[in-house]
Structure 1
Amino acid sequence: MSQLRIAIVGAGPAGIYAADLLLKAERDVDVSIDLFERLPAPYGLVRYGVAPDHPRIKGIITALRDVLDRGDVRIFGNVNIGTDITVEELRDYYHAVIFATGAVRDAALPVPGLELEGSYGAADFVSWFDGHPDVPRDWPLEAEQIAVIGNGNVALDVARILVKHPEDLASTEIPANVAEGLASSPVTDVHVFGRRGPHQVKFTPLELRELGELRDVDMILDEADFPDAETTAALVAGNKQIMVIDRVLRSWRERETGQASRRLHLHFWAKPLEFVGDEAGRVRALRYERTAPLPDGTVVGTGEVRELPVQAAYRAVGYYGSPIDGVPFDEARGVIPNEGGRVSVDGVQIPGVYATGWIKRGPVGLIGHTKSDAMETVSNLLADGELWWTPEHPEESAITALLDERAVAYTDLDGWHRLDEHEIGLGAGERARVKVVPRDEMIRISRGEG
């Protein structure tokens, strides 16, 4: 074998890290990598899952761009594996495939009323405000009181964007249609609900601290949600992250409120029971049960049920992977079943098929965890030489010929550079970029078609 041909499906951090590690790993053969992405632009959730007012996190794109710009990885954007090319067909062109398709759908929230008008998934809302090309350009922002279910960073992103004054997003890469939609919102109160207490949240301290820096927004907390000083001291002892979170929450509890035009309420010990609808089938309230802690760290319902009037409710309880035609899928966990990245069914490895990132382990961990995750998958792939496929057309030109024959309007690295420069130019030096949102426009610019 003169060259090991690898296909990686998904050009987000997981896929790009896997490509980088493959090329840097000790091996006996040359490696040639083709990176496939169903969107016209790379970077996955860093581009379409991180709030526009988080430029520090979006700075990860710089490291990912450095990998692509080395020139030793080819990228094929706007190619959907499963339709444009089947998984079975990949066997004819590659020795193995790594799936790094992430998780972009909302996890289930088993409560009645999810079908009501005004009930939304956080993933869809995040895709909208991040200018994802495959979601509608408009978003219904008609509610004055809004509930957000979840105590993780995505819940905070959703709450922050909903309550933040749109003019304070003007310097970010927020698309024009999103700015216009947020400007029309009549919101006055956003309520964030979590089943556990204030010292068990999944927020990172930085995300939480940012909430308190919002202009003209009061932070509202209920003293009944917080334990006494002795219990608090025991909870924060030896845990720096919890200590910082406690300090932030305590500072908000000491603030004067009542002057801001908008309020962000944090509700702890609150388990959602139902999105309550009106006669027209719209959300009119959130019904929830107060919870209490058990010695093992879990919570139990107290039987005290409350109802809060809201006109919209967003569930931010986690992400869930999407199945790919021709690849095993674990419906319960929303992942491709695997052992150390080796895709398997009932413990039996499927030759030549691997997974990394959230589609491998589920939507847990920060972006930085993805690199160590990819290392495991790459190491196992390189150790599995006897299980690699034997492609009939391993030459690099064969896959481009196939895409051209099928008239797939794929984008490449030069095309991404064209789109990148175009978006930066739209920012006119006043902000990092203005995203191009319509898919057909992204493709046209990337392919240099006028």
Structure 2
Amino acid sequence: MSTPHPSAGPAVGCPVTGAPGTAALYGPGLDGDTMPALYEELRGTHGPVAPVSIAPGIDAWLVLGHRELLRLTREEQDFSHDPRRWSLLREGRVPADSPILPMVGWRPALLFADGQQHRRMRSAVSDALAGINGHELRRSVRATAEALIAGFAAHGEADLVAAYARTLPMRVIAGLLGLDDRTGRELVNAVAGLVSATGGAGDASRRMGAILKGLIEERRRARGDDIVSALLHHPARLTDEEVLHNLVVMFVAGNQTTVNWIATALRILLCDPALRSSLSGGHLGVDDALDLVLWRFPPTQNFPARYATRDMGFGGQDIRAGDMLILGLAAANADPEVLPADGTPVAGNRSHLAFGAGPHICPAQDPARLITRTAVDTIRHRLPDLELAVMEDELEWINSPWSKGLGTLPVRFTSPQLPQGTVPPRTAEAPAPAWAHRHAVQPQAGPH
């Protein structure tokens, strides 16, 4: 089992505690405002690796140190991706209805594989993503964004999470998968239930699997011009089951991460006058602002998981074979050992760990950046006098051990600048556009 060191004490002031010596990463006392403080308390008490619980009775280690997280992601011989090595699972100590099981349970997907098996599946996923036509994707994101803005522009107010940040990636990813709008919404609702780590996560996982399975069967019968077809017909020869579970990984990681990135970037622009002024004055580019968001408020706070392949000392803790280790992406980005003395990341610096590191670094970061950049840039120009409609400390957060996401972002504005001829989204169900994969032009997001 994942057993914290006997001498480890509880985090100072931690709002919720699980087993003795652990701090809980779940519960109503934790949100986007309190989690950063908890990470620093854990760092001060335990060092770069801290004992935590991620669900009732489920203990793990949270890797807080930047250097330690790099080692965790790069050394597969010591830290495996395969949850079948997890002691708690092997010993039958993880309840079948545990809310975290849909996120950490084994699947035949690149996220849960090591070595050659991982490389085989990653080649198919990377090639499918590389086939996205960047110019067409940008055009379609902008058109969708302007249509969404037109849908609420007359009201002078909106919730930018529900009406924009959550809706826009859904339509884009649904198009990349070749889904119609209704099915895309159903899939996004299932994903939201999965990452929430609540009692409904198991049902959400089943609903998501059923939708994707039907889509795979349809593409086997008739090949399309979309990511699903690209995976099915790749030289890596993925099975239908492998395609299904790699789509799950891509969709869960891609959709919710992009939603959080858009919403957080908009929140920072609304709440940080200096940053907004620098952006408006041309002293800071949109990509620089997005990287600042990735440093300070990464869309995924904590990411599951690695499993120790042997007993070892790591980050000042005694790790046992089969222990689970969680990637503390937000905490590692805030590690004082890698930040400048004033704690502010350098503009343009992309050495953050928001997308992970090592062989498993996120393969979808370029299209995610293109979608987010276009979404933020479009709303800045179309709603130039946008302002927050509540006090910043009144914002609501999604409670999850994995994600730091806004639940709402209420805003108001008076002078929408919509292009002539923009029409709101139709209420009728219409197929979302699918983008050509052949002779594609790649999104230009810069080096990583």
Q: TM-score, normalised on structure 1?
A: 0.23
Q: TM-score, normalised on structure 2?
A: 0.23
Of the two structures, which has the highest relative contact order with CA contacts closer than 8 Å and spacing of 6 or more? Answer: 2
- Greater Cα radius of gyration, structure 1 or 2: 1
| Greater strand proportion | 1
